[in-house]
């Protein structure tokens, strides 16, 4: 563990030294985190019969190597930054002018300049650029794993994948081994999650304290954003905060609406925080100044009951189908507006697995098994179809050998739970 002064200048220090010495890194072996994650992907590649993967999702590149660079931009403009990973080689193709950002990462064997194969970069010559990209990456693949090898791709434009197949490779989906890898967290990873959760808890406390009737939803949401960035978090993946009648139905993003007295304010953190780990929990507050109404308290108590019933079902060995069958019965008046999932995996973003409601399992669900080391978010949205308001609650937990450990310990609202 590095022991340098976080406040000293950059002279002689690369990005990895600064990140590993940040205050929220205290007590975490980030070297072990990075190597565990890369080893997880390689183990899942072997199990799936995949010889190489080309990762262009910025979150997955960070998972596999620890490196980061303009995550939203590079994911949107793929492939402009991508990682070629085999059983024994890790070659990062970095965006123009950015090759120095991988200095010090021993999870990267080599850094090469990326060839951006997108319409924005190539215009009408996109097909030629895609063929050039495929020929270049194909030559490296031929050297490392041979023509005819199975290569996993993700988040690439179709033309690039087609061109790479024409180079003599069998193309498959890289999401299978990568998502399976990410699902199981090491003890050091969990420390990263706790650090991110702690930052997000402070940001949510600041948001809660800032609530005043007369302010806009946007102004309130900005309190969370500012605290996340100031605390060395990355960004908020969504902007799900709404008030009053905009709390029902769910998934209405924050806007210029002015918060009125005594309304509910519902939000979901969706924070990509410290070390790139997701802190994902939801809360609903009351704007005051009066006591919440009986109708508001009923919505809150029902959501609270759903979350805690379903949390109690989580333990190693429980099948996804069995969980769905035993999950809390949503009252009929709230069923149409139910959240689309009962629970989901959570690591560096939302991830595998998705656990569906019983009513949705036949159409959308798949079976699997909950195992120790998964981190899961248990969801509830309660709001009647056409009702005036709704409540969003969510808890993030770690699956242990005997059950679960709560990660999102931000308190619930006593005033909304009261009879």
What residue ranges of the chain have pLDDT lower than 50? 1-13
Q: What's the rounded Cα separation, in Å, for the pair 357 and 341?
A: 6
3-state helix, strand, coil in the chain (%, to 5): 40, 20, 40
State the span(s) of the chain assigned CATH 3.40.350.10.
15-182
Q: What's the rounded Cα separation, in Å, for the pair 152 and 122?
A: 24
- Does residue 279 contact residue 268 with C-beta atoms inside 8 Å? no
**Residues 191-240 pLDDT 10s:** 999 999 999 999 999 999 999 999 999 999 999 999 999 999 999 999 99
> What is the model's pLDDT at position 3?
37
Prediction pTM value: 0.92
Q: What's the rounded Cα separation, in Å, for the pair 236 and 279?
A: 10
CATH code given to domain 187-417: 3.90.230.10
**3-class secondary structure, 18:** helix
Could you say which DSSP state residue 99 is in?
G
- Does residue 383 contact residue 299 with C-beta atoms inside 8 Å? yes
Architecture field, domain 15-182: 3-Layer(aba) Sandwich (3.40)
Answer positive or negative: Cα dihedral of 129, 131, 134, 138. Answer: negative
Beta strand spans in 126-240 (E): 150-153, 170-173, 235-236
> What is the model's pLDDT at position 15?
63
> What is the model's pLDDT at position 205?
98
**Residues 353-398 pLDDT 10s:** 999 999 999 999 999 999 999 999 999 999 999 999 999 999 999 9
Answer positive or negative: Cα dihedral of 61, 62, 67, 73. Answer: positive
Helix ranges (DSSP H) in 175-293: 175-182, 187-210, 217-230
Cβ neighbours of residue 329 closer than 8 Å, sequence gap 6 or more? none
State the span(s) of the chain assigned CATH 3.90.230.10.
187-417
Q: What's the rounded Cα separation, in Å, for the pair 278 and 19?
A: 17
**3-class secondary structure, 285:** strand
> How many Å separate Cα 45 from the centre of its chain?
21
**Residues 107-131 pLDDT 10s:** 999 999 999 888 888 889 999 999 9
């Amino acid at each position: 563990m590095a022991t340098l002064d976080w406040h000293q200048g950059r002279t002689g220090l690369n990005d990895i030294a600064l990140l590993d010495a940040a205050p929220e890194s205290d007590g975490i072996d980030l070297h072990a985190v990075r190597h565990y994650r890369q080893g997880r992907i390689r183990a899942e590649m072997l199990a799936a019969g995949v010889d190489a993967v080309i990762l262009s999702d910025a979150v997955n590149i960070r998972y596999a190597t620890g490196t980061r660079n303009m995550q939203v931009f590079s994911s949107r403009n793929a492939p402009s930054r991508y990682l070629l990973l085999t059983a024994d080689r890790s070659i990062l193709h970095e965006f123009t002018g950015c090759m120095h950002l991988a200095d010090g990462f021993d999870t990267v064997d080599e850094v090469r300049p990326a060839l951006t194969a997108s319409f924005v970069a190539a215009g009408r010559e996109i097909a030629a650029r895609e063929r050039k990209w495929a020929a270049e990456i194909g030559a490296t693949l031929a050297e490392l794993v041979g023509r005819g090898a199975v290569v996993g791709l993700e988040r690439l434009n179709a033309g690039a994948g087609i061109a790479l197949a024409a180079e003599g490779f069998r193309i498959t989906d890289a999401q299978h081994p990568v998502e399976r890898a990410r699902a199981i967290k090491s003890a050091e990873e969990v420390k990263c999650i706790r650090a991110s959760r702690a930052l997000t808890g402070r940001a949510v406390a600041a948001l809660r304290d800032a609530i005043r009737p007369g302010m806009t939803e946007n102004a309130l949401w900005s309190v969370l954003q500012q605290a996340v960035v100031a605390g060395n978090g990355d960004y908020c993946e969504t902007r799900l905060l709404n008030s009053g009648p905009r709390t029902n139905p769910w998934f209405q993003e924050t806007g210029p609406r002015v918060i009125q007295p005594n309304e509910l304010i519902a939000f979901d953190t969706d924070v990509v925080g410290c070390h790139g780990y997701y802190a994902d929990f939801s809360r609903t507050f009351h704007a005051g100044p009066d006591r919440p109404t009986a109708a508001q308290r009923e919505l809150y108590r029902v959501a609270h009951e759903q979350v805690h019933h379903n949390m109690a079902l989580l333990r190693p060995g429980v099948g996804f189908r069995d969980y769905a069958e035993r999950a809390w019965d949503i009252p009929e008046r709230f069923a149409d507006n139910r959240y689309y999932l009962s629970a989901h995996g959570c690591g560096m973003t939302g991830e595998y697995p998705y656990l569906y409601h019983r009513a949705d399992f036949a159409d959308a669900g798949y079976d699997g098994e909950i195992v120790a080391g998964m981190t899961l978010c248990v969801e509830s949205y309660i709001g009647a179809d056409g009702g005036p308001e709704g409540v969003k609650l969510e808890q993030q937990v770690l699956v242990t050998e005997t059950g679960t450990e709560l990660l999102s310990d931000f308190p619930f609202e006593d005033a909304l739970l009261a009879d």
